[in-house]
Amino acid sequence: GESVGLHLPTLSVQEGDNSIINCAYSNSASDYFIWYKQESGKGPQFIIDIRSNMDKRQGQRVTVLLNKTVKHLSLQIAATQPGDSAVYFCAENLSLNNAGNMLTFGGGTRLMVKP
Amino acid sequence: NAGVTQTPKFRVLKTGQSMTLLCAQDMNHEYMYWYRQDPGMGLRLIHYSVGEGTTAKGEVPDGYNVSRLKKQNFLLGLESAAPSQTSVYFCASSRSLAGGETQYFGPGTRLLVL
């Protein structure tokens, strides 16, 4: 079946370094991708998104790259800070033909920032 | 705005008991969703609603029912709780149908079924 998945379950980085979290997807019909950050005991929080007609989008300290050729998505966090420590989920969106949209989530990557 | 709120925050049930989880949003969103999150896993969609009075099944709907009597509220019911329903439940809402509309999540409800 088609799924969204992540390459690395845990990523440990030094404070100040850049972080890269990767995600593979296999559903070619997905039109939109989202990265969520989830801190312990909280709900997922939107970080950044990208539509399938784009290959790069930048936010504040974060960049999402989309490679449709190999169906790969990545989240880059610049100058990683202790507050960035969390679990990061990628999600792919499918529009359900006038029935809303359905997000399919990957399993998550835990980012640990070492001081 | 409070965004998306969920009650209760935590609940313990015995097998066979019933309960209702309440989700409320004050953003006037049309679409609402219920997910469950199990340890080490991503979120899986249980049911969703595209508007007041409408509901639809998601990926894992069995054992749950939902109702959307008011636009701002989306209720998730467990008629006869089972240990397999021990999970963290998240509600979310989004503004519209269009692909690309961000879903906003509530803080979650932790449910333990003994």
Q: pLDDT over 90 for what percent of chain B?
A: 75
SS3 for A57?
strand
Count interface pairs A-B at CB distance under 8 A: 78
Instruction: Write down the pLDDT at residue A3.
Output: 41
Which tokens sit at B48? 């969703």
Closest CA to B113 of B67, B90, B80: B80
Calculate how close chain B gets to A54, using CA atoms only, in Å.
12
Structure confidence by residue, pLDDT tens digits, B16-66? 999 999 999 999 999 999 999 987 677 899 999 989 999 999 889 999 999
CA–CA dist B41, A66 (Å, integer): 23
Check B45 against A103: CB less than 8 A apart.
Answer: yes
CB within 8 Å of B110: residues ≥ 6 apart: B9, B10, B11, B88
Instruction: Give the nearest partner residue to B102 out of A46, A99, A108, using CB atoms.
Output: A46
Instruction: Write down the pLDDT at residue B97.
Output: 57
> What mean pLDDT do residues A72-99 have?
88
Instruction: Give the nearest partner residue to B97 out of A31, A94, A100, using CB atoms.
Output: A100
Instruction: Write down the pLDDT at residue A108.
Output: 87
Residue A2 has pLDDT above 60, yes or no: no
Alpha helices in chain B (DSSP H): none
Tell me phi and psi for residue A82, to 5 degrees: -55, -35
Structure confidence by residue, pLDDT tens digits, A8-28? 489 999 999 999 999 988 788
CB within 8 Å of B30: residues ≥ 6 apart: B50, B51, B71, B94, B95, B96, B97
Structure confidence by residue, pLDDT tens digits, A35-71? 999 998 889 999 999 999 999 999 999 999 999 999 9
Instruction: Write down the pLDDT at residue A100.
Output: 61
Closest CA to B102 of A60, A58, A54, A35: A35
Residues of B in contact with A86 (CB under 8 A): none
CA–CA dist A114, A17 (Å, integer): 10
- For B56, name the nearest residue in chain A, comparing CA atoms only: A99
Calculate how close chain B gets to A87, using CA atoms only, in Å.
10
> What mean pLDDT do residues A91-104 have?
72
Instruction: Write down the pLDDT at residue B41.
Output: 73
In one-letter notation, the amino acid at residue A77 is I
Check A107 against B40: CB less than 8 A apart.
Answer: yes
Place of tokens 């300290």: A61
Residue B84 has pLDDT above 70, yes or no: yes
Instruction: Write down the pLDDT at residue A8.
Output: 46
Is A3 near chain B, with CB under 8 Å?
no
Check A101 against B45: CB less than 8 A apart.
Answer: no
Calculate how close chain A gets to B15, using CA atoms only, in Å.
25
More confident residue, B65 or A32: B65
